[in-house]
Structure 1
Amino acid sequence: MEPELELLKIDCLGKPLRLEGSLAGWQQLFWDNQLVSQKAASIDNGGLKVHEFELTLTRPTTEPQDGDAPVTSHTTLIRLETDLVWQPFRFDYRLLQDDEVLTQGTRTEKDIERQTPEVPVVKQQKVSIVGLASLGFKLLKSAKVIKVVLAGASVAAYSWLFSFQFALALIACLVFHEYGHIRAMKYFGMKTKGIYLIPFMGGLALSDEKINTRWQDVVISIMGPTFGLLMSVGALMAYHATGHVFFAGLAAFNALLNLFNLLPILPLDGGHILKSISFSMNSITGLIVCVIGAALGVYVSYTLGLALLGFLLLIGSVEIIVEWRARHQSHLLPLDRYGQIFSTLWYLLTVAALVGIIWHLAGTGDDMLGLPLKILQS
């Protein structure tokens, strides 16, 4: 079964009671990590649902004197009543024991964003070469020295392509881009492991924690290019203030780098953003709108002579449409209608601003500054 979203985790008679569910309609209820009730997938994936299970409780009848005290046992009925709305997300629940209310409440998207999902206990495996290799990779990845080595290799690689000064500036752009991802992760209360620079590939912002909602995926993904856009705007302002072509080149190539990251191809940032938007559309109308928007983007790209951008947009759009059918299998809470519109506008405005910077600097007549635009037109 696909991973499910943790809808609820509360105390029940001194033990954790956890309800997991998915857009496909699956629901599983665990008491003390034991499966006690489940609902199969159905077209009606929300609304009112009731889980019931019985527990046998024991307690001593008298204080122990000599030996163990006699015990009595009785069966009690536990009933969990839920009312679930996916868009906008709202989860009302009421827990009863033998028709007596133990607790009740409401959960919203904010509660889902801040929760830490239950981590299943993994049985220890015998020592193997694969296991040792995996452990070695984890230790290697967590070591600070690896960050320094990768950063040094990145500086050397970009210095070979351009110049040492430009390589340092490009590394600063990459770090600023990844810092945008880090800031978004910290906003959602996620623990981060820092930034890793990879020669010729860019960088990675890593976290040990997993996201719970599509909104988190959108914000974390788009904040990198957004910070990159701010970096390009700052460099463009410095160029117009000083007239130094170094700042213009920095603005142009940084804009190209972040524009590439926004292409709707996984695992790029743009792929995560558009996948979260399209997978949150539960109606055929939503899919049609997504297709029309993708077609419009391809048309505009080819009209402006941006052949490469249009081609990659086409590939990414087809990929997202094909995967749209599997959206119900995701454990991520979908975007509501407002989130879909806001995320789409944020994405389109960021792309337009980056293209505008590249186009503006290409008009200066400098061959070096016109290179990013020629790449898009190739």
Structure 2
Amino acid sequence: MELLNLDCLGQPLRLEGSMAGWQMLYWNNTPVSRLDASAEDSGEALHEFELQAASGETIICRLQIQLSWQPFELRYALYVNDQQIGEGSRNSKDIERQVPSQVSRPAKKSFSILGLGALGLKLLKSAKVIKAVLAGASIAAYSWFFSLPFALALIVCLVIHEYGHIRAMKYFGMQTKGIYLIPFLGGLALTEERINTRWQDVVISLMGPCFGLFLSLLSLLAYWITGSMFFAGLSAFNALLNLFNLLPILPLDGGHILKSITFSMNSVAGLALCLLAAAGGVVLSYYLNLTLLGFLLIIGCIEIFFEWRGRHNSALLPLDRYGQLFSAAWYLVVVGSLISIIWYFSSSGDTLLGLPLKVLQS
């Protein structure tokens, strides 16, 4: 990931590194210094390199850094010919706000169907009319299998969910491309920018289900006030939709959240604790007869375990201890609230309102 980017003799000086311990320093996009991973990494590092001035003079540059990952803090001092020309520090907020440098690479001239597909998708994203076309196609598709009122209600649920992702992206200052509804696949909240931290991944992933939870709670309140079965059905099925998105498998929101938490843990004990909590969820699912939830929990844990080994090479800044605990608690509260709504309506005795719970138990 990009740790530092500052001016050095009129050209950008960029430092990249990872939790594995390696660091690479670039001056004007040219590698000038490299430090390999070491088991005795103390957090202090020194990069030295030479530049040739137009006059033929050799310029000696040194970059001293002191790096801590959890919590993240980087202090640096830049010297040119033993004269200090810059110093400062960076924290996780600075990483969140930065726009990583785009290093130009030679374009590949080979013909590729995937390349044409990517170009076509990019063109589709840039056309606003496609949003309306996809929305219309989604309504038509859902109406064909169900009914128009149900299709419209489902579209509302999807839009509210995706709007939660959009609001989180805008909170972090990211430019968004809007919401795209895909028939039978749900919706997408798109941005052309990439995230820099695991915390951003957690917040963006969780805000969609959170907005969905608010919609279910508002519908539940409307049901209590009016007694309308429409609001009851909207609350129950919307809760099921958002609970499904929180299942710990990629590319669902729950998969991103679990991955961000486990990949931020810098020890086997941390991973074991997370897997133990997931195992507890499987046991609880068994006793509550939530077969589908327990089965997908097992799949998610296996997937996370195998990917965890490469966590140190991630380009995302990890969560600190507080961030890990807070993210896990936030996730469990949202999941528990959605299950509670589904359980509440299943106890009403109505066959239709009990359908979401039957889906989880099937």
Whether the 8 Å CA contact 1:90–1:109 is kept in 2: the answer is: yes
1:97-246 maps to which residues of 2 (within 5 A)? 97-126=80-109, 128=111, 130=113, 131-246=115-230
- Equivalent in the alignment of 1:290: 274
Distance in 2, matches of 1:53 and 1:182, equals: 43
Matched, 1:24 2:7: no
Count, aligned residues = 361
Amino acid at match of 1:97: V
Q: Which string of whole-angstrom CA distances, capped at 9 and with x for unpartnered residues, describes residues 31-54 of structure 1?
A: 111110011122345600000001
Distance in 1, matches of 2:191 and 2:41, equals: 31
Q: Choose the corresponding residue for 2:250, options 261, 266, 276.
A: 266
- Equivalent in the alignment of 2:338: 354
Going from structure 1 to structure 2, the CA distance change for 1:244 and 1:193 (only over 3 Å counts) comes to same
Distance in 1, matches of 2:287 and 2:121, equals: 47
Q: Which string of whole-angstrom CA distances, capped at 9 and with x for unpartnered residues, describes residues 51-89 of structure 1?
A: 00011112xxxxxxxxxxxxx431121000000000000
- Equivalent in the alignment of 1:279: 263
Q: Larger Cα Rg: Structure 1 or Structure 2? A: 1
Aligned-partner SS, 2:309: helix
Matched, 1:87 2:40: no
Amino acid at match of 2:92: E
- CA apart distance, 1:134: 3.4
Q: Choose the corresponding residue for 1:13, options 9, 13, 37.
A: 9
Amino acid at match of 1:294: A
Amino acid at match of 2:52: T
Q: Mind listing any 5+ residue stretches in structure 2 that lack a counterpart?
A: none
- CA apart distance, 1:26: 1.5
- Equivalent in the alignment of 1:74: 57
- Equivalent in the alignment of 2:47: 51
Distance in 1, matches of 2:253 and 2:92, equals: 22
Q: Choose the corresponding residue for 2:239, options 255, 265, 269.
A: 255
Distance in 1, matches of 2:213 and 2:77, equals: 47
- Equivalent in the alignment of 1:39: 35
Whether the 8 Å CA contact 1:46–1:86 is kept in 2: the answer is: no
Whether the 8 Å CA contact 1:20–1:27 is kept in 2: the answer is: yes
Distance in 1, matches of 2:274 and 2:120, equals: 43
Distance in 2, matches of 1:45 and 1:127, equals: 43
Whether the 8 Å CA contact 2:49–2:60 is kept in 1: the answer is: yes
- CA apart distance, 1:329: 1.4
Please identify, of 204-213 and 39-48, the stretch whose mean Cα deviation from structure 2 is larger. Answer: 39-48
Whether the 8 Å CA contact 2:125–2:177 is kept in 1: the answer is: no
Amino acid at match of 1:101: Q
Distance in 2, matches of 1:303 and 1:129, equals: 51
Q: What's the RMSD between the two structures over aligned residues?
A: 1.3
Amino acid at match of 1:87: Q
Going from structure 1 to structure 2, the CA distance change for 1:134 and 1:51 (only over 3 Å counts) comes to same
- Equivalent in the alignment of 1:63: none
Matched, 1:315 2:311: no
Structure 1 segments of 4 or more deviating over 3 A? Answer: 124-134
Aligned-partner SS, 1:42: coil
Amino acid at match of 2:349: G
TM-score calculated relative to the size of structure 1: 0.93
Amino acid at match of 1:114: R
Q: Which string of whole-angstrom CA distances, capped at 9 and with x for unpartnered residues, describes residues 239-281 of structure 1?
A: 1110000000000000000000000000000000000000101
Distance in 1, matches of 2:238 and 2:40, equals: 47
Query: What percent of counterpart residues are identical?
Result: 65
TM-score calculated relative to the size of structure 2: 0.97
- CA apart distance, 1:326: 1.1
